[in-house]
Structure 1
Amino acid sequence: MNPFTMVKEMWRAFFFVWSIQFWRMSLLWTLSILYSHFQLFKASIYSHKIVSYPRCFPSTTPRRPVCVITGATSGLGLATAHQLSKDGYVVVIVGRSEQLLSEAIRKIKGWNEDACLKAFQVDMSSVESIMKFKMSLQQWLLDSDLHCSVQILINNAGILATSPRATAEGYDQMMATNYIGAFALTKLLLPLLECSPVSSRIVNVSSFTHRAVIDMQVDEGTVSGKRFLSSKQYPYANIYEYSKLCLLLFSFELHRQLCLMGKSHQIFVSVADPGVVQTNIMQEVPAILSCLAFSVLKRLRLLQSPQSGINSIIDAALAPPGISGAYFFGGKGRTINSSALSRNAKSALELWETTSNLLSVTPFGVEGKS
């Protein structure tokens, strides 16, 4: 790094530190992850039985099962794709960059030469791109010797954007990627999940940061993120927390809706919280500060590598049939309670209806009806 770039980065870090959003991340997010670990600690100290589930590995006969993973070109998504390829799944990796998808396949093949992989270039912040992916995936399944169904869908794609960016639909890019895209993709793939000859599972990757939200506002301007795009100060930390809370509420409402439709014995929904993992999620934060944060978290023994961080995701993906609506955290098949706000049935239904209305004016409105 040349001196000019170094000085510029230091000034950027200086102004970044003086923002409310930075201190929200530093304080509230640290308290949130500590509280999650406290739940595990408290259960062990007071001899409360921690609810945990063993992993159930798939049968690969007569046809190998299919798993779809979004955000699979790096970090948690890449590590999860590698692990599930070892567990016998045909892994469909989804990412925005064709180059990164090619690199991801090369890496996984290097780790596991028997891996059966398929890559699709998809922008998870674009409804149109997600709809095209659904059609391409369905056609690929029909053309292959695989059963035309999906056994696991892992909604892992997520970003932490520190500046406002709008999608083609006019949504805030962070809300679109972290929540709306997962909502749309899940509803579009439900028929393929339902067609599975064995029970199927949806895993939504959320975050402990959802605990920092204390007031749930549900309206189209907030859910789409449009009201944040014109804000004088872009509240990126608040939006990230809110998007992860929305993903949780969606998960629990989807579980309820499947029960009402009589499909709760066929499609199961779980949430995975990986904890603090050293990935490129902090790439828009000044490098000086992200390195400092990782250093502190490492000293507190809270920081994990992607290979360790995927434990809760794999636990959720391979949970026994019948386990639905659980919040996996801490590995070893363990589950804890998410925030009380995330389990509010009224807010979950309002969010479901608001998101459906929001998408009804897009091409998804016709195809995504259920």
Structure 2
Amino acid sequence: MGFDWEALQFICLIEFWRMGVIWSISLIFSYFQLLLTAPFGKTPCSYPRHSMGPPASITSPPICIITGATSGLGKAAAKCLSNEGYYVILAGRSLHLLSKTIQEIEKQHGDARLKGFQIDLSSFQSIVKFKSSVEQWLVDSNLHPSIQLLINNAGILATSCRLTPDGYDQMMETNYIGAFALTNLLLPLLRNSPMPSRIVNVTSFTHRCVSDVQINEETLSGKKFKCLSGLKQYPFANIYEYSKFCVLLFSYELHRQLCSMEPSHQISVMAADPGVVETGIMREVPPHLSQLAFTVLRFLGLLQSPEHGVGSIIDAALAPKEASGQYFFGGKGRTVKSSALSYNTKLGERLWNRSCELLREAKLTPWESKAGS
């Protein structure tokens, strides 16, 4: 077996040490928050799970859409929510994996109601096609023309610069811009629900690493990180943190905008942080290093399986609507505070406005509350 030069080169990157040191500190800080109140006789704020059932006048089952549903946390969430009575729409890039995942879940749960649709969140065209396909399927299946739950789970950690057909950094568009666009396009279906509906955005403890934020076309496209300049060292850790910070900032801003509307529009918005989960997200990191990282995290008791790590996502999906705007972390219905910067309302408004501009540039119509943005 030859020497692993790829792993050696990766170790020499600043981004590797950022992941190994700063990300670890951010993760430990999040868990520290769960324990912080114990000496003072308090417990972290937590919310019980409530199974969702349709009103007696509606015969359709509640419908849930999960992106990135063919593996890891997305697949685990699909299994859990199908058990809760949801008709689960699995959204993923590969039709083969969608079919395989559906067969696997149906083997374990024979009465599961599942449907697969192809989507690539790094393509506006694919997102628009997905929305149209879902709407047509609802009509053809004689289901109520609405959805009750959207889980924006899909995400990637790319270690090299790749541009999407829309001209954006692939990680930024997959992790944030695509989720923003999909949510905007599906809001009419969520608002049309005869029962309270919900959006769960999956973020990450790595958002705590973001301290200097500029919201403009340069940052959202990835140009601010010199992705397009031919720089040899692609700042993938930095971009991943920023994309997850944007997901969180977007979650809080959408929550505020929905709260400003009349009470009849009962859409809640939750953020969920699963912590460190053994999924395929590290597939672009040299195998020896990703295996070493998982071994160390497992030894420290910080590494979770998808079945356990999905807890915070399911907590957010099934929490009472009063929990809207909360940051779920640690399972057992627990919530903690995210970074102070993530609560900056002016920053949230700026992100919303600039993201809407991106949609308009792509000939898409963003949703806007009556209160304006």
TM interval, short-chain normalised: over 0.9
Q: Does 1:83 align with 2:80?
A: yes
Structure 1 distance, partners of 2:309, 2:142, is: 33
Amino acid at match of 1:78: K
Question: Residue in 1 aligned with 2:13?
Answer: 19
SS in 1 for 2:361: coil
CA offsets 1:114-152 (integer angstroms, 9 cap, x no match): 110010010011111101111110111111132111000
Structure 1 distance, partners of 2:223, 2:78, is: 33
Question: Residue in 1 aligned with 2:50?
Answer: 56
SS in 2 for 1:124: coil
Is the deviation greater in 50-59 or in 260-269?
A: 260-269
Asked if structure 1 preserves the Cα contact closer than 8 Å seen for 2:254 and 2:269, the reply is yes
Aligned residue runs from structure 1 range 282-321, under 5 A? 282-321=282-321
Amino acid at match of 1:282: M
CA offsets 1:84-113 (integer angstroms, 9 cap, x no match): 001100000000011111111111112211
Asked if structure 2 preserves the Cα contact closer than 8 Å seen for 1:95 and 1:120, the reply is yes
TM-score under structure 2 length normalisation:
0.95
- Which consecutive residues of structure 1, in runs of 5 or more, have no partner in the other structure? none
Q: CA deviation at 1:309?
A: 0.4
Structure 2 distance, partners of 1:324, 1:127, is: 28
Structure 2 distance, partners of 1:226, 1:97, is: 29
Question: Residue in 1 aligned with 2:100?
Answer: 103
SS in 1 for 2:322: coil
Q: Percent identity?
A: 58
Q: How many equivalent pairs are there?
A: 362
Q: Which runs of 4+ in 1 moved over 4 A?
A: none
Asked if structure 2 preserves the Cα contact closer than 8 Å seen for 1:205 and 1:272, the reply is yes
Asked if structure 1 preserves the Cα contact closer than 8 Å seen for 2:191 and 2:265, the reply is no
Aligned residue runs from structure 1 range 133-144, under 5 A? 133-144=130-141
Residue of structure 1 aligned with 2:227, choices 223, 226, 229: 229
Is the deviation greater in 295-304 or in 224-233?
A: 224-233
CA offsets 1:308-351 (integer angstroms, 9 cap, x no match): 00000000000112321000001110000000011111111111
SS in 2 for 1:229: coil
Residue of structure 1 aligned with 2:69, choices 72, 76, 92: 72
- Which consecutive residues of structure 2, in runs of 5 or more, have no partner in the other structure? 369-373
Question: Residue in 1 aligned with 2:200?
Answer: 203
Asked if structure 2 preserves the Cα contact closer than 8 Å seen for 1:255 and 1:264, the reply is no
Structure 1 distance, partners of 2:325, 2:192, is: 21
Q: Does 1:29 align with 2:27?
A: no
Q: Does 1:148 align with 2:148?
A: no
Amino acid at match of 1:116: R
Q: CA deviation at 1:155?
A: 0.1
SS in 2 for 1:331: coil
Structure 1 distance, partners of 2:106, 2:347, is: 43
SS in 2 for 1:360: helix
Amino acid at match of 1:13: A
Question: Residue in 2 aligned with 1:368?
Answer: 366
RMSD: 1.2
Aligned residue runs from structure 1 range 195-274, under 5 A? 195-227=192-224, 228-231=226-229, 232=231, 233-262=233-262, 266-274=266-274
Q: Does 1:191 align with 2:188?
A: yes
